[in-house]
Chains A and B, each alone.
Chain A
Amino acid sequence: MSSYLTGRSNPETDDAEETGTEPKSSVAKRPVTIHRPVKHRVEAFTVISYIGVSFFAILCLIPFWMIFVGSFTAESKLAISGYSLWPSPFSLQAYQLLFSGTTLLDGYIATLFITIVGTALSLTTTASLSWVIARRMPGISRPLTIFAYLPMLFTGGLVPLYLLVTEVLGLENSWFSVILPIMMAPFLVFVAVAFFRQLPEEILESARLDGAGEARIFFRIVLPLSKPILAVLGLFYAVTYWNEWFTALLFISDPTKYPLQLILQNLIADVENAAQIPSGGAAMAVAPVYQLRLAMTVVTVAPVLLAYPFAQRFFVKGLTLGATKG
């Protein structure tokens, strides 16, 4: 009964907050209009804030710009004067090399498979498990919460995972060895639970009275109402899969199955040696190693960067939901 009550009162207060934003913001605006005539001076802290925020944003952008420019700069120039902010001897050599071989295509196929299949699996399992937890079923939801929470506290570590994937499941050199170990994120399960618990109980209740079963309620009512949170979860999972390389490093040894990140990692793996033996760079004159590395970085980051402006508001929303409810 008490859980039923809280389940009902939650969406009510949240609704009140949501609908209350308009009057609240007008209240918030009022003091500004009152104080503006009184305080005309520009505050030092406001100026510092604009400068500070701009500075941080530029710091976040410059590295990507340098990599982008470097990938179009001839290796000979890179070797003499290092990286610059403008590609002076413009060169497409690295990109020509990248697009002429099959490595890049293989990498994209692997990464796309891992990202798409992985995100679909993650989304399905996370949403359905979270819904069951959020339903507050007596004797089921509480144990499930603990069941999903404990792995955040206690993990088996690297060795048991390695043995599980290679010896027990035999997934070596399969893309599923990259997907499965990171398929569910407990944190995102709890973000989804927090969202599901905000759904208005009245709608579910009336559906139940109309004779809808649990399956119909979940697929026909809950999921369509939860599109925003599904977008959040999907994007978080997709980025995780896109960036994942450690499980690939552990379990994938066939170079034709390397995802993009692992190809990139192989390209940089020798830089420590290069740094320790500066004279050993003679062999590098053959292929534009450094330029290639930067071009590879560009093609790896570009899809994320291009999708980011459209997706970022979902990330902020998901993080806010998780932070305030978690």
Chain B
Amino acid sequence: MTSANGAVSKAERQRKRASRRAARRGSWVLLLLAAPGVIWFAVFCYLPLAGLVVAFKNFSVSQGIFGSPWDGLQNFKFFLASGEAPTIVLNTLFLNTLFLAGSLLTGLVLALMLNEIRLTLFKRVAQSIAFFPYFVSPIVISIILQVILAGVNGQGGALNNLLSVFDLPQVSWYTTPGPWPWILTVVKMWQLGGYTSVIFLAAITSISEELYEAGAIDGASRFRMARSITTPLLTPTLGILIVLGVGRIFFADFATIFAIVGDNGTLFPTTDVIDTYVFRALRTQGDFGTTAAIGLFQSVVGFIFVTVAVIVQRRFNKESSIL
């Protein structure tokens, strides 16, 4: 490209030769730099894949991973025959769909609103506050939820206090499974709303100012511009986030759900997901084979979801592909 005249191209060639020499000399340094990361990925991401053979074995700790006898598909059959499989699979899909829709909607609306705010200090402070719940641990979220829903010794929760103001009947939230999918969705909206809005705001800043000028000349209100200019131009970002979410739809947010629900069996019908089921089966029954089988099942189905999602997204929008 810069080789318009001979002198430049000669210098360029010299430079390139020098850099190639340096590259050869330095490649072992680079390999050394990459080594710790590579080893970590090998041990903590790839080695466990080999451990998945446990799913096909009648595992016992004394005989070890490779010494235990083969068991065929018994572990898978046991899981599918237990009758819990449909519930936890449906719960996982349903809850993750709600979480994804809830957090994306909150983030989008919040970003559109933040975009309207011209007072820089107000905007920065509000954005920082809205982002903060993302950094709160699931345990703390669980405590917050107890303050709001359970109160002390089952009475005096903030929400029940609010209900009594309006003469509405009190609800024993932690023994009523029905509303929990929605409660957890609100938690996710609260937790991820600010985080998602930052991603949308980053996309908004790349929208050309000329479009808004044109809109203003045509007499569009700010709301009209948010609806007809900003939102359509955020579709690619929204698409990527949806694809990422769909790709993870078979993996539940274990930490949050387990921290909130824990061993409260009353809530299992609506909140028990694959990950919490696996953890409980491992901890209470010590059944390595079945839990590994469920984990493998989850990984394979999850992988199919990811692959389909990525293919769809690539067809949908080639430029902003995530791979």
Interface residue A16 (Cβ < 8 Å from any Cβ of B): no
Bound Cα distance A276, B22 (Å):
70
Interface residue B242 (Cβ < 8 Å from any Cβ of A): no
Bound Cα distance A184, B36 (Å):
11
Which residue on B lies nearest to A180, using beta carbons?
A: B44
Segment from A86-94, A95-103, A112-120, A158-166 that makes contact with B:
A158-166
What residues of B have a CB within 8 angstroms of the CB of A46 in the complex?
Answer: 116-117, 222
Given contacts A129-B38, A213-B29, contact A261 B137 (CB under 8 A): yes
Beta-carbon contact of A43 and B223 below 8 Å: yes
Q: A39-84: which residues lie under 8 A (CB-CB) from chain B?
A: 39, 43-46, 48-50, 52-54, 56-57, 59-61, 63-64, 66-67, 70, 75, 78-83
Beta-carbon contact of B303 and A154 below 8 Å: yes
* CB within 8 Å: A-B pair count: 335
Given contacts A43-B223, A304-B135, contact A163 B288 (CB under 8 A): yes
What residues of A have a CB within 8 angstroms of the CB of B139 in the complex?
Answer: 245, 261, 264-265, 268, 300
Given contacts A82-B156, A157-B292, contact A268 B146 (CB under 8 A): yes
Binary interface encoding of chain A residues 274-299 relative to chain B, with 1 for a CB under 8 A from any of its CBs, else 0: 11101001001000001001100100
What residues of A have a CB within 8 angstroms of the CB of B112 in the complex?
Answer: 49
Bound Cα distance A242, B117 (Å):
33
Which residue on A lies nearest to B247, using beta carbons?
A: A153
Which residue on B lies nearest to A129, using beta carbons?
A: B37
Given contacts A126-B37, A129-B38, A144-B38, contact A275 B292 (CB under 8 A): no
Q: A205-257: which residues lie under 8 A (CB-CB) from chain B?
A: 205, 208-209, 213-215, 217-218, 239, 242-246
Beta-carbon contact of B27 and A31 below 8 Å: no
Bound Cα distance A33, B277 (Å):
60
What residues of B have a CB within 8 angstroms of the CB of A52 in the complex?
Answer: 109-110, 113
Interface residue A125 (Cβ < 8 Å from any Cβ of B): yes
Which residue on B lies nearest to A326, using beta carbons?
A: B322
Least Cβ–Cβ distance between B178 and chain A, in angstroms:
16
- Max count, chain B CB within 10 A of own CB: residue among A43, A53, A304: A53
Beta-carbon contact of B156 and A78 below 8 Å: yes
Bound Cα distance A153, B323 (Å):
12
Least Cβ–Cβ distance between A122 and chain B, in angstroms:
10
What residues of A have a CB within 8 angstroms of the CB of B147 in the complex?
Answer: 63, 66-67, 70, 83, 294
What residues of B have a CB within 8 angstroms of the CB of A203 in the complex?
Answer: none
Beta-carbon contact of A82 and B130 below 8 Å: no
Beta-carbon contact of B146 and A271 below 8 Å: yes
Bound Cα distance A183, B36 (Å):
11
Q: Which of A70, A79, A164, A274 contacts B48 (CB 8 A)?
A: A164
The total of chain A residues at the interface (CB under 8 A) is 115
Q: Which of A137, A183, A209, A315 contacts B30 (CB 8 A)?
A: A137
Beta-carbon contact of A275 and B114 below 8 Å: no
Chain A contact residues, majority secondary structure? helix
Least Cβ–Cβ distance between B160 and chain A, in angstroms:
8
Beta-carbon contact of A205 and B295 below 8 Å: no
The total of chain B residues at the interface (CB under 8 A) is 124
- Max count, chain B CB within 10 A of own CB: residue among A80, A214, A290: A214
Given contacts A83-B156, A128-B33, A284-B153, contact A48 B113 (CB under 8 A): yes
Q: Which of A56, A147, A215, A284 contacts B26 (CB 8 A)?
A: A215
Q: B42-79: which residues lie under 8 A (CB-CB) from chain A?
A: 43-52, 54-55, 61, 64-65
Given contacts A67-B144, A316-B198, contact A160 B172 (CB under 8 A): no
Bound Cα distance A126, B25 (Å):
23
Bound Cα distance A323, B239 (Å):
12
Bound Cα distance A66, B279 (Å):
32
Given contacts A268-B139, A276-B175, contact A164 B44 (CB under 8 A): yes
Given contacts A66-B158, A158-B282, A215-B29, contact A309 B128 (CB under 8 A): yes
Given contacts A78-B152, A128-B34, contact A56 B44 (CB under 8 A): no
Interface residue B202 (Cβ < 8 Å from any Cβ of A): yes
Least Cβ–Cβ distance between B122 and chain A, in angstroms:
8
Beta-carbon contact of B264 and A272 below 8 Å: yes
Q: Which of A66, A78, A243, A272 contacts B263 (CB 8 A)?
A: A272
Q: Which 4 A-B pairs have the closest CB atoms?
A: A82-B156, A157-B295, A214-B26, A129-B37
On B, residues with C-beta under 8 Å from A are 1, 15, 18-19, 22-23, 25-27, 29-31, 33-34, 36-38, 40-41, 43-52, 54-55, 61, 64-65, 106, 109-110, 112-117, 122-123, 125-133, 135-140, 142-144, 146-148, 150-158, 161, 172, 174-175, 190, 193-195, 198-199, 202-203, 206, 209, 212-213, 216, 221-223, 226, 237, 247, 254-255, 258-259, 262-264, 266, 275, 278-279, 282, 288, 291-292, 294-296, 298-299, 302-303, 306-307, 322-323
15 A-B contacts, Cβ less than 8 Å apart? A31-B212, A52-B109, A63-B147, A82-B161, A83-B157, A137-B23, A137-B27, A140-B34, A156-B47, A160-B51, A214-B27, A215-B26, A276-B266, A278-B154, A297-B143
Extra pairs beyond A82-B151, A151-B45, A205-B15 (13, CB < 8 Å): A48-B113, A50-B122, A60-B190, A83-B156, A154-B302, A157-B52, A160-B52, A161-B44, A214-B25, A215-B33, A274-B154, A320-B198, A320-B199
